[in-house]
Structure 1
Amino acid sequence: MELNRLLLLTSFLLHMEEGHAGPTQLVCDNRLIQKYIREAKDMENRAGQCQALPALNYTVVLPLVDLSLQQWKSKPHETKWQEILCDLALLVGAVAGAQGQVTEDCGTRQLSQLYQHANFFLLLLQTFSWEAGPWEQGCSPRSKEQTHITSIFLTYRQLVQGKLRFFFHDLAKDLCKQGQGGGRDPWCRTR
């Protein structure tokens, strides 16, 4: 168990050094989430262009990531955070399950990239702290079974474009104000 955590931490730190943002920078600089949305769209498009992507032999379970903006806004940050973590954990598991079933090079490359991106957000959000304590796996998000690989990419794009973007936008209102805490966070930029 400890070795797995060490490997995840190492992977996370290496991923951070490859140009991905830290929590404060990602929340406070709207351009970064827009970059991740574009990357999600690009991955979805490239996966759609892979030739001969067969249906999966075994279904994967994907989170239902649709949201009602009015309901979303009424939830506290911690609830939103936990919901997104549950969605990401299920999505990362689905990508891993699909990776074991795809042998075509283009599909394998795209799924590998998707796994890295989704896992990056999962690890990043786990670094956020709330008064209630750390997040623990074991949640049961709303889900659906799928056999189409493109559905996995669609789900990821919708998650980044929806819940993640709105979550970071809401956090930015609280965290990225000038003069907060006697000084301005050097990572935060006003919009």
Structure 2
Amino acid sequence: MELNRLLLLTSFLLHLEEGPASPARLVCDTRLINKYIEDAKDMEKRVGQCQALPALGCPAVLPLVDFNAQQWRSRSNESKRREILCDLALLVGAVAGAQGQLHQECGARQLGQLYRQANTFLLLLQTFEWEAGPWEPGCPPRSVEQTHITSIFFVYRRLVQGKLRFFLHSLTKDSC
């Protein structure tokens, strides 16, 4: 399991463009998070173009990722990180469940890409050097059940565009 996490983190770092990469670079170089936001938009658009995607037989449990910006800013970075980790863990589980139900090539390809990106962020936030120590699962995120595959992509885009981007921005003040 640890080897898989190390390989995934290494893969993430090797696929970052524009020179040497590090987890701190994701925090300090806003172009990277913007790239991931564009990737999320692109995945959502491409899956929306798939012909007649079937509804999921077993609903996907997705995190509710909306937030109040003013309240978000007043929270500690560790609190934000834990909430994002909960959201990502729930999202990664939903994508894995949807992958097992979808056998259509078009949607399956995008689900695979989404799984890799969301899991990479999950592992990155778990392994980045934090003062409070490692993350442990067990938090109950707010959630909703959805049977539409496109909802998974919508939630991921909103998470990356919202909480994750604002979180990385708040880390910029202390790290860059």
Instruction: Report the TM-score, using the length of structure 2 for normalisation.
Output: 0.95
One-letter code aligned to 2:16: G
Deviation at 1:117, TM superposition (A): 0.6
Contact kept? 1:50, 1:107, Cα under 8 Å: yes
Q: Give the alignment of 1:1-191 within 5 angstroms.
A: 4-19=1-16, 21-176=21-176
Shift of 1:16: 2.0
Q: Contact (CA 8 Å) 1:22, 1:124: kept in 2 or not?
A: no
What do you get for the CA RMSD once the two structures are aligned? 1.1
- Match for residue 182 of structure 1? none
Q: Aligned with 2:101: secondary structure?
A: coil
Residue 131 of structure 1, CA deviation? 2.7
Amino acid at match of 1:157: R
| Aligned AA (2:4) | L
Q: Please identify runs of 4+ aligned residues in structure 1 that moved more than 3 A.
A: none
Instruction: Please say which structure displays the higher CA radius of gyration.
Output: 1
Task: Give me the whole-angstrom Cα distance separating, in 2, the residues matched to 1:25 and 1:160.
Answer: 17
CA offset digits 1:81-107 (Å, max 9, x no partner): 000001000000000000000000001
Deviation of 1:31 after TM superposition, in Å, equals 0.9
TM-superposed deviation, 1:133: 1.7
Task: Output the CA distance in 2 between the equivalents of 1:71 and 1:22.
Answer: 29
- State whether residues 62 and 144 of structure 1, in contact with CA within 8 Å, keep that contact through their aligned partners in structure 2: yes
For residues 13 and 26 of structure 1, the distance between their equivalents in structure 2, rounded to whole angstroms, comes to 14
Partner of 1:187: none
Q: Is the 8 A contact 1:37 1:161 kept in 2?
A: yes
C-alpha distance in 1 between matches for 2:63 and 2:22: 25
Matched to 1:121, the amino acid is F
TM-score scaled to structure 1, two decimals?
A: 0.87
- Hey, what's the Cα distance between the residues in 2 that align with 1:84 and 1:15? 18
Q: Do the aligned partners of 1:86 and 1:140 also contact (CA within 8 Å) in 2? A: yes
Q: In structure 1, how many angstroms separate the alpha carbons of the residues matched to 2:76 and 2:12? A: 29
- Offset of residue 127 of structure 1: 1.7
User: 1-side partners of 2:29 and 2:121: how far apart?
Assistant: 16
Q: Distance in 2 between matches of 1:11 and 1:119?
A: 8
Unpaired runs of at least 5, structure 1: 177-191
Count matched residues: 173
The 8 Å contact of residues 95 and 111 in structure 1, kept in 2 or not, is answered as yes
Residue 130 of structure 1: how far off its partner (Å): 2.8
3-state DSSP of counterpart to 1:62: strand
Residue 17 of structure 1 and its aligned partner are, at CA, apart by 1.4
